[in-house]
Chain A
Amino acid sequence: MKVEEIKVSLRDVRRAIKDFYNPDEWHFVTVNGTDLGGKVELKWFFAKYGEEEVFTVFTSEASYEDEIPTITYIIPSAWIAEWELADLLGLNVEGAKKGLFLDPDSPKAPLRRG
């Protein structure tokens, strides 16, 4: 597997993805959040069309209070993954509405530790 992992600060994520992303070449898989306890590790996964096991992953860290920049200006379909981050990890993602995956009486931010 060929994986290029690019670490960027949260502030630079959108610009880095904008510079990198070409929809004819790369398939946006999803964005994943992992709670590290007090902060969250975010990973944006891209797979190359037509090639075997070629990935680019953008990695960043955010605190619970940070505003996560949306990449829907660049990749319109990313909204669903971003809204999921807002629901399941309780993150403050720019433009995301809560309640797509969880009902109002569900536990809040169930994927947070502690």
Chain B
Amino acid sequence: MGNRITIPFGSQHVALPEPIRFVFQTENEKIVDVEVDVGYVHRGIEKACMTKFKYTQVGYVVARVCGLCAISHTLGYVTAVERLMEIEVPKKALYLRLLVSELDRVHSHLLAMGHLAEVAGYENLFMHTFRDRELVMELQELVTGNRIQFDYATVGGVNRDLSLEVERELREKLKDLQERCLWLKDVFENDYTIKLRWKGIGVITPEMARELNVVGPPARASGLATDARNEFNYLPFKEVGYKLITMKDGDIYARNMVRAEETLNSLEMIFNLLDGMPEGDIKVPVKGLPEGEAFVRIEAPRGELFYYLKGSKKLILDRLRIKVPTFSNIPVMKELFIGMDYADVPATVISFDPCLSCTAR
């Protein structure tokens, strides 16, 4: 037995973009125990949505849970309200929601891939990836009118139509982006150093994924075929060429490759939906007050996002519950660290693409 050393990792750390804190106990560089703290940014958003805001305003509040997942949070909330109040959303609005949801996935996956390149010491690739992500953010701004806090979906539809000029620009720039993403995928897939660094590291076996209820790209990278886009009918994914992407190895490399493949599938879906965009309204008027309970599953870029709400015919909800993907993945992260070399921790953590703003909301 070597010397036991305690190493705090986060809440502020060069390799960690989120305020999560792990306290590792190590012996000869091997981790033997770990504690986790996720409460650094708890903002009481659920409480605020149950006391201060009307149910029509809550969609805009939950968009502030996280800058990266703003589209998914609003989408989760408005879908739950629409289910509860039996509101039929126009098909065009569903297509527009799908468009922004998949643009969001592209930018979020590129961010995760870029961060991974950075912690592997591959700064050039990190910069290439982030440059391409910037292009998606410009497109999101074009479509929604905002760069980060989009406020695009609303109860009953969406807030903004897609003009012909924006559609033309989208097609043009997305074509360029598609080529860049193909190139990025090729580099991530075939680079010798990346393979050496990530293959066989941080492996989640299929059994672990099932037992610990892993969600999102980490689950699919371990061969667990779960995706809310496939298991919950909230947007017409199957009409626009959605593919369920899984891999077998469950390591850092596989998690990154699932994201690379999903990015390309998202771009393909965007082209298809632009070709088949329905005519008609983008919003319907909403009347009445929510009564009863509803819950939905949404596939946010990081995995399953769950919204539960309960109302009793009042302007303010009785309960709003948000369960986010990182919340579901923390138990497996904790298990994974035991027995791992400390040097592999940064890449393993980042390969989960953790989002603590969402977790502590």
Chain A residues at the B interface, C-beta cutoff of 8 Å: 1, 23-24, 27-30, 32, 34-35, 43, 45, 47-53, 55, 75-77, 79-81, 87-88, 99-103, 106, 110-111
Query: A49 touching B231 by the CB < 8 A rule?
Result: yes
Query: B231 touching A106 by the CB < 8 A rule?
Result: no
Nearest chain A residue, comparing its CB with the CB of B327: A80
Determine how close the nearest CB of chain A comes to the CB of B213; give it in whole angstroms: 5
Question: How many B residues have CB within 8 A of the partner chain?
Answer: 39
Residues of B275-324 contacting chain A, CB below 8 A: 295, 297, 304, 306, 308, 310, 318-319, 321, 323
Query: B231 touching A52 by the CB < 8 A rule?
Result: yes
User: B226 contacts which chain A residues (CB < 8 A)?
Assistant: 27, 49-50
Please judge, given known A-B contacts A23-B211, A50-B225, A53-B232, whether A76 and B331 are in contact too, CB under 8 Å: yes
Nearest chain B residue, comparing its CB with the CB of A23: B210
Q: Would you call B46 an interface residue if the criterion is a C-beta within 8 Å of the partner chain's C-beta atoms?
A: yes
9-residue interface stretch from B34-42, B66-74, B137-145, B345-353 = B34-42
Can you list 17 contacts pairing A with B, beta carbon distance less than 8 Å?
A1-B83, A23-B210, A30-B323, A32-B308, A35-B319, A45-B306, A48-B231, A49-B224, A50-B226, A52-B230, A53-B232, A75-B211, A76-B211, A77-B211, A77-B328, A77-B332, A81-B327
User: B331 contacts which chain A residues (CB < 8 A)?
Assistant: 76-77, 79-80
Bits for B23-62, please: 1 = Cβ < 8 Å to A, else 0.
Answer: 0000000000000111100101011001000000000000
Determine how close the nearest CB of chain B comes to the CB of A71; give it in whole angstroms: 12
Determine how close the nearest CB of chain B comes to the CB of A88; give it in whole angstroms: 8
Choice from A27, A50, A53, A102 contacting B233 with Cβ under 8 Å: A53
Choice from B47, B50, B304, B360 contacting A101 with Cβ under 8 Å: B360
Complex formed: what's the CA distance from A41 to B332 in Å? 28
Nearest chain B residue, comparing its CB with the CB of A103: B39
Choice from A24, A52, A76 contacting B212 with Cβ under 8 Å: A76
Complex formed: what's the CA distance from A111 to B231 in Å? 30
Please judge, given known A-B contacts A50-B225, A53-B231, A77-B212, whether A34 and B319 are in contact too, CB under 8 Å: yes
Query: A100 touching B212 by the CB < 8 A rule?
Result: no
Query: A100 touching B38 by the CB < 8 A rule?
Result: yes
Determine how close the nearest CB of chain A comes to the CB of B311; give it in whole angstroms: 11
Determine how close the nearest CB of chain B comes to the CB of A62; give it in whole angstroms: 15
Determine how close the nearest CB of chain B comes to the CB of A4; give it in whole angstroms: 14
Q: Would you call B245 an interface residue if the criterion is a C-beta within 8 Å of the partner chain's C-beta atoms?
A: no
Determine how close the nearest CB of chain A comes to the CB of B302; give it in whole angstroms: 15
Complex formed: what's the CA distance from A102 to B360 in Å? 9
Complex formed: what's the CA distance from A81 to B87 in Å? 31
Query: A28 touching B233 by the CB < 8 A rule?
Result: no
User: A75 contacts which chain B residues (CB < 8 A)?
Assistant: 211, 213
User: B340 contacts which chain A residues (CB < 8 A)?
Assistant: none
Determine how close the nearest CB of chain B comes to the CB of A61; give it in whole angstroms: 14
Please judge, given known A-B contacts A30-B323, A53-B232, whether A77 and B213 are in contact too, CB under 8 Å: yes
Query: B297 touching A29 by the CB < 8 A rule?
Result: yes
